[in-house]
Amino acid sequence: MKAPSVSDDVIALARQKAIDHLVSLQDSDGWWKGELETNVTMDAEDLLMRQFLGIREPVGTAETAAWIRSQQREDGTWATFYGGPGELSTTVEAYTALKVAGDSPDADHMVRARQFILDNGGIEKTRVFTRIWLALFGEWSWDRLPVLPPEMILLPKWFPLNIYDWGCWARQTVVPLTIVGSMRPQRPLGVSVSELKTGRPDEPFEPALSWAGFFQRLDKVLHLHARLPIKPLREYSIRKAMKWILERQEADGGWGGIQPPWVYSILALHLRGYPLDHPVLRKALAGLESFTIKEDGIRRLEACQSPVWDTALAVTALLDAGMPPDDPVLKGAGNWLLDEEVTVRGDWAVRRPSLPPGGWAFEFENDNYPDVDDTAEIVLALRRMLPADEPAVRRAVEWTIGMQSRDGGWAAFDADNTRRLAEKLPFCDFGAVIDPPSADVTAHVVEMLAHEGLSALQPARRGIKWLLDNQEADGSWFGRWGANHIYGTGAVVPALIAAGLPTVHPAIRRSVKWLERHQNADGGWGEDLRSYRDKSWVGRGDSTASQTAWALLALLAAGERGAVTERGIRWLVATQRDDGTWDEPQFTGTGFPGDFYINYHLYRLVFPLTALGRYLDG
């Protein structure tokens, strides 16, 4: 029997509850910021960093350990996302942190974790970053880690494997790590985790004529160089790397607004003689505290924060929900966003030296790395509230157009950051290390250009072609920064429609059919993060509020208001909480596809509100 439709009055009530809840979360300065939840490696590495620096203290240790224990699963493991499988490196880091915190290796939770670790290859099978942390304390040999020499900083920007061939997050991590690795420090851990080793030898080299085999053999040469460096050149390189790091410290004390370069820069500077009370390190450590959440006897660390992104999405949601542009809530947000405009040159200028600055970053303080995705979404939001000649918007549009890559697409932070050679290095066994164009970012730019009246011009036409050329065979689009094909499709379809493609275009029809095929029996949509590695999970997973909203945004843009769309709307209304938001423990954000995932706590509210608003407006 066909389920009854939900009346517009009921949907409007759900929309109003969501509006009220979202407005209640706004800061008095005009911004929104939901928690950005990741996994316990952030907390384990924070504890280990404090052990290395000699600043670990009992209360913070106990609170961190309590959080790590609370996230352990029944099988003794820790995962990288809610509901995901146990992950070896994450479990090794969590186990190590808990042992440092005083947990007995004979405790049941430690025994279960250790058994999983040994069954899955032990420390020997962990990622390079985990083994670097263990090497810092003598629990792993620096000789058994890949070498990245500090002399990399001297490579010109046209030369393969220069630091600007790496994505911005990767280069900011690699530069300090070249210093740390060259110094090969060892400090007391206070305990040993040798019980996590299996004693298995290293894997044999790949064939010499393969890229992997070539770089494995090159790494052996670099190890020889590391033991007998040309001392004046080594010292010059380290000093240049130090200068590069110091020039990129942000106003909040961090680097790039994200945990890895922040922590490794602290370690590098300290190893080079900066005392902890030096203004640079004092500011860096204080900034980390602003990324710390403390509640109910636990302490956890956000890998980064997303106020600018969250505020742009919240503004769009409220506008789509019918809030007038001159409402004080939106005016406050608009003014705050204008104040956050980036007007200085950052690393992006290496590839675009003649492009004037503009746009926005993700964080409160991240002026060195504005990003195209934030900028496109903010322009889309501000354009609906500000005069047509607003200078900040004009600068942002010009900067975004200038950041188009040669292939016609847009990436998040850099242009033409597409050399894949870095991915072949033995060091690079975790996370994306380059920043090529992606469907979701390109779609947001194309949509922005369309709303600016620029969809007929060459940059937009090239972006549209890029999107059409990169549609998957099944009709979906890959999602780089959100999970996964639902996110990509939910971004691309509204952009193509805004840019003038008719709803009967074959690409649109294929995407609609894909969404229809992947709707869950309950009416919602979900895609498990395992889809990044296992194609059997593409478009498949528990229904979530954010992913259901993404699917609805695509369907509504495509003119689909039939049974499939109604079932999705009905699912959102039925699962809304009394306070106006939705439960969503699942992670639907992506940091590094296949490796690092994010639960943006505001996604569960802003995207459903946008979908409800657009449904009622149609």
Q: Which residues are marked as active site?
A: 373
- CA 593 to chain CA centroid, Å, is 9
Kindly report the number of other CB atoms within 10 A of residue 531's CB atom.
22
Could you give the C-alpha distances from 263 to 114, 139, 163, 195, 260, in angstroms and in order?
Answer: 27, 19, 19, 27, 5
Q: In the chain, what is the greatest distance between 2 CA atoms, to the nearest angstrom?
A: 80
Query: DSSP characters for 487-510?
Result: HHHHHHHHHHHHTT--TTSHHHHH
Q: Which residues does 290 contact at the CB level (< 8 Å), separation at least 6?
A: 252
**DSSP code at position 344:** S
Q: Which are the contacts of 47, defined by CB distance < 8 A and separation ≥ 6? A: 56, 60, 61, 64, 65, 97, 100, 101
Question: What is the signed CA dihedral for 451, 456, 459, 462, rounded to 10 degrees?
Answer: 110
Scored b (16 or more CB within 10 A) or e, 404-429 reads bbebbbbbbbbbbbbeeebeebbbbe
Find the angle CA(499)-CA(503)-CA(505) to the nearest 5 degrees: 85
- Count of CA atoms in the C-beta half-sphere (13 A) of 268: 28
CA distance 298 to 321: 37
Residue 26 backbone zone (phi > 0: left; psi -120 to 50: alpha; other: beta) = beta
Single-letter amino acid code for the residue at 67: W
CB neighbourhood size of 433 (10 A) = 22
Instruction: Give the CB-side neighbour count of residue 200, counting CA atoms within 13 A.
Output: 14
User: What angle is formed at CA 529 by the lines to CA 308 and CA 119, rounded to 5 degrees?
Assistant: 125
Radius of gyration of the chain (CA): 24
What is the sign of the dihedral through the CA atoms of 575, 580, 586 and 590?
A: positive
Yes or no: say if 135 and 168 are a contact pair by the CB < 8 Å rule.
Answer: no
Residue 539 to residue 514: CA distance in whole angstroms: 9
**Which among 290, 409, 403 is positioned nearest to 342, based on CA atoms?**
403
Helix (H) or strand (E) holding 147: none
Q: How far apart are CA 409 and CA 376, in angstroms?
A: 13
